[in-house]
A = this chain, B = another copy of it.
């Protein structure tokens, strides 16, 4: 079984038997892309927090503190929510406390699932391989924007569903629509997503290039597993690196 949740407001409809499902949280612009990049650059772990204040509380424990609200790095924080800021020099071996507008909230909402992963184009093949091997029902959970549907998360859900659809049955209109959006736009992904409202928000913030960074495929072949409020790389065997 393969299901897609287009907004956190629709998540309650998919919570039955959640303990049997592998949930993939999708916040392409940018939380889950950033989480993948941070782990790929060697961060030890990422703690998700509800508020910037809570994230700052981890500073005295030696954590790097990252916070984004409405697309902008919160003043007083070392890091925001842009993958390219998470360099190896800065994050290798470090623990990071992170809070974002949409994505970190969805990770916490998924507590109780069999396993919860962060998905993005940066780790799509690694993730797909794992889900296929693991065989549990899959729930693709689009973070959207403040409970609204968004184009980029659904587009990625379609890309991942396209890799999974021969293994899992996708008897769900949201999955069919997502696959269709992906299949008919995969060759012009950047153009397609630049019309999305979130990309236009980035234009206002002069962060337009972030869209292109978050569309790079398999540049961070990690498996970010969220467990007990902490995200760590769950690569179990080297073979999982091969998409």
- List residues of chain A with CB under 8 Å of any chain B CB: 6-7, 9-10, 13, 145-151, 154, 171-174, 176-177, 180-181, 184-185, 195-198, 200
Contacts and interface: CB of A to CB of B under 8 A. Distances in A.
The number of times this chain is found in the oligomer is 2
5 contacts: A6-B149, A9-B9, A13-B146, A177-B177, A184-B184
Best-buried of A147, A173, A181, A195 by chain B (most CB within 10 Å): A173
B148 A176 contact: no
Contacts of A154: 177
B13 A10 contact: no
Given A147-B10, A148-B13, A149-B177, A197 B171 contact: yes
Contacts of A148: 10, 13, 173-174
A149 B7 CA distance: 10
Q: Taking each of A7, A149, A174, which has the highest tally of chain B beta carbons within 10 Å of its own beta carbon?
A: A149
Contacts of A172: 197
B173 A181 contact: no
Contacts of A184: 180, 184
Contacts of A10: 7, 9-10, 147-149
